[in-house]
Amino acid sequence: MQNIFGLTVEELTVLLRPWKVPAYRARQIAEWMYQRQADSFSVMTNLPAVLREQLAEKLLIQRASMLDRWDSADRRTTKFLLAFADGVAVETVLMRHSYGNSICVSTQAGCAMGCVFCASTVHGVVRNLTVGEMLAQTIFINDFLKSGQERVDTMVLMGSGEPLMNYENVLGFIRLVHEPYCLNLGYRNITLSTSGIVPQMYALAKENLPITLSVSLHAPNDEIRSQLMPVNKKYPIAAVVAAGRDYAEQTKRRVTYEYILIDGVNDSEEAARELSQLLRHQLASVNLIPINPVAERHLQRPSAEHVERFAAMLERCHITATVRREMGTDIQAACGQLRNQHLKP
Ligand code: SF4
């Protein structure tokens, strides 16, 4: 049996040719799957009954099933642990902001990148997610929101995994979720976060997709960054920032640099000055994120005062900086922490 969840209308049309199904039927099937919560052909009442039976013999529609769910005390963040057909599970997070509903999608089960502040990488990478599995996370939350007459408004690819190490599937997913027969999500409402895979950053700039690129920088120089992010040994900070500059120039989109603030590691005034030098004259902004302590590591959060001082120093050097509001710390919203709890014996 072949799973068709995650196929485009064009792919479905090709697949359905042996059944002599006209192209408009492929679109109807896609709308049933992606907009009308169908998980079987039997509910697709605008398809002939004979065709529904024929398709059900050969094809199936695999969605994600919920293993667990956590709500933050303020009910603004909900985290889901979603499982796929082979039992592999990932986290997907819904954040209710004043400007709409944002979701954080995983692109790989686990992660190979080894960032020391991240719980997703503690058990390494299991595998890449397919287009259908990334879409299944998104549609799961969209269906969840529908009961309250709401929908997914913005999406960040910032869950477990390095999206640019799963390049083709991630691009296929972004294009599919944008289709009117799917979620019709605007490209400008999508942010892709990378740890700095330089060749794929240049490739992404050429895709002609006006999505926002977010680069996990987390340090102002190679010495500190290599301690925090092993990927820096392969793609040093200057090469990452050059690729970010190229992305901004090609797409005319502001690049966001993520900077997790860790007490005594990367939060000095000197670090703020170095960071400003690095990003000078670039269409860029910095997102400062006081670290969520990770149980498996020993990294501490700086005081609120210290965070404000770091932000003010960047502003003085003409770098736009915002301190990210914490959401869901009480449910361990930092990526990977809940999945790890489930993996623990
Ligand atoms: S921060 Fe992102 S790239 Fe780094 S280990 Fe975690 S999931 Fe992977």
Evaluate: CB of 160 within 6 angstroms of ligand 1.
yes
**Residue of 117, 122, 123, 160 to test ligand 1 pocket, by largest number of atoms within 8 Å of CB:** 160
| pLDDT at residue 329, as a whole number | 53
Active-site residue flag, 91 = yes
Candidate CATH numbers 3.20.20.70, 2.130.10.10, 2.40.33.10, 3.40.50.2300; the one for domain 65-343 = 3.20.20.70
Which atom of ligand 1 is found nearest the CA of 194?
Answer: 3
Q: Quote the ligand 1 centre to 121 CA distance (angstroms).
A: 6
Q: What is the pLDDT of residue 333?
A: 44
Do the first three CATH levels of 2-60 and 65-343 match, i.e. the same topology?
A: no
How many Å lie between the centroid of ligand 1 and the Cα of residue 101?
A: 23
Q: How many angstroms does the Cα of residue 227 sit away from the middle of ligand 1?
A: 14
> Measured between alpha carbons, how far is 46 from 3 in angstroms, rounded to an integer?
21
Q: How far is CA 174 from CA 133, 184, 248, in A?
A: 12, 10, 19
Residues in the chain: 345
Predicted local confidence at residue 342, as pLDDT:
53
The pLDDT of residue 344? 44
335 counts as catalytic: yes
Say yes or no: CB of residue 214 within 6 Å of ligand 1: no
Q: Is 113 in the pocket of ligand 1 (CB under 6 A)?
A: yes
The rounded distance, in Å, linking the Cα atoms of 227 and 223 is 7
Using the atom order of ligand 1, give the atom closest to the CA of residue 229. Answer: 4
The pLDDT score that the predictor gives to residue 331 is 47
C-alpha span between 317 and 86 (Å, rounded): 50
111 within ligand 1 shell (Cβ under 6 A): yes
pLDDT at 324: 80
The pLDDT score that the predictor gives to residue 56 is 96
pLDDT of residue 208: 87
CATH architecture type of domain 2-60: Orthogonal Bundle (1.10)
Helix ranges (H only) for the chain are 9-15, 23-35, 49-58, 131-146, 167-178, 198-205, 222-228, 231-234, 237-251, 269-279, 304-316, 337-343
CB of 162 within 6 A of ligand 1: the answer is yes
Q: Is the CB of 231 under 6 A from ligand 1?
A: no
Per-residue pLDDT at 338: 47
Secondary-structure breakdown of the chain: helix, strand, coil percentages, each rounded to the nearest 5: 40, 20, 40
- Domain ranges for the chain, please list them: 2-60, 65-343
| Ligand 1 and 335: CB distance under 6 A | yes
Tell me the CA–centroid distance for residue 50 and ligand 1, in Å.
48
With a cut of 50, which residues of the chain have pLDDT below it? 331-335, 338, 344-345
